[in-house]
Amino acid sequence: MTEHRIKIVEKILNANDRLANANRQRLDQSSTYSINLMASPGAGKTSFILATIHALLDENIQIGVIEGDTAPVTIDSDKINAAGMPAVQVNTGGECHLDAVMVENALDQLALDDLDLLVVENVGNLICPAAFKLGTHSNILIASVPEGDDKPYKYPNIYRGLDVLIINKVDLLPYIDFDMNYFRQGVEILNPGLTTFAVSCKTGEGIEGWLDWLKAKLT
């Protein structure tokens, strides 16, 4: 019997990262721009996707959606289908995030060549989705103002990997205590110069700026 120490130094999520890279290649091949949309539960992920779909109806842009949920429900994908776009519902079986394997399986169910844009709606959670790459082109977080202005300080990881931040429900600002300067300072520490759009999916305020950003990515 002999004892040995073997040096490894391997990233624990290496397998997921490799699959994420493969997903990205598929999306690149079909020229589908893809977004990993993250937020806490109730921040307005599905409303934001629907607002985007409706605003782009006349633009001849085909949008597909992957809906991640921890329970076997089709509430969100039904809403997307009702808006006339294809959606795949992924039940994570209790897992608190989507990972690259789940997205790979969902990609098989979509006609990628027909899609200009793919939105992956992650499970509502500010912690776990930050650790698992999916292979999408950009990471976007929706922070809604009723959640409070301290979220960047409490959930730093998710803010660090972002390409775009959407501040949603700004129509509620007059009614709640939300210090925008404090919030933005927290974001600035984690992700200097982050592209940010303050919107209300309910009133449509601020959506134009987001659409301009998105359309620039799709051309």
Partner 1 sequence: MHELSVTESVLDIACKHAKKAQASKVTDIHLVIGRLSSIVDDSVEFYWNVISKGTLCEDAKLHFKRIPAELVCLECGEKYTLDQELTPCPSCGSARIRVLSGDEFNLESIEITKESND
Task: State the CB neighbour count (10 A cutoff) for residue 189.
Answer: 13
By CB under 8 A, name the one of 104, 163, 171, 188 that touches partner 1. Answer: 188
Nearest to partner 1 of 181, 219 (CB atom): 181
Looking only at the bridges linking them, the beta strands covering 63-69 and 87-91 are parallel
Residue by residue, DSSP assigns 33-80 as: EEEEEEE-TTSSHHHHHHHHHHHTGGGT--EEEEEEESSS--HHHHHH
Contact between 216 and partner 1 per CB under 8 A:
no
Nearest to partner 1 of 87, 98 (CB atom): 98
Could you tell me the CA-to-CA distances from 203 to 49, 196, 208 in Å, in that order? 14, 18, 12
Place of tokens 């919030």: 183
Nearest 10 degrees: CA dihedral of 58, 59, 60, 65?
Answer: -100
Nearest to partner 1 of 135, 186 (CB atom): 186
Site string for partner 1, 10-39 (x = CB under 8 A): xxxxxxx-----------------------
By CB under 8 A, name the one of 55, 83, 112, 131 that touches partner 1. Answer: 131
Q: How big is the site for partner 1, counted in residues (CB under 8 A)?
A: 35
Interface residues with partner 1 (CB under 8 A) are 1-16, 95-97, 99, 127-128, 131-132, 152-153, 156-157, 160, 185-186, 188-190, 192
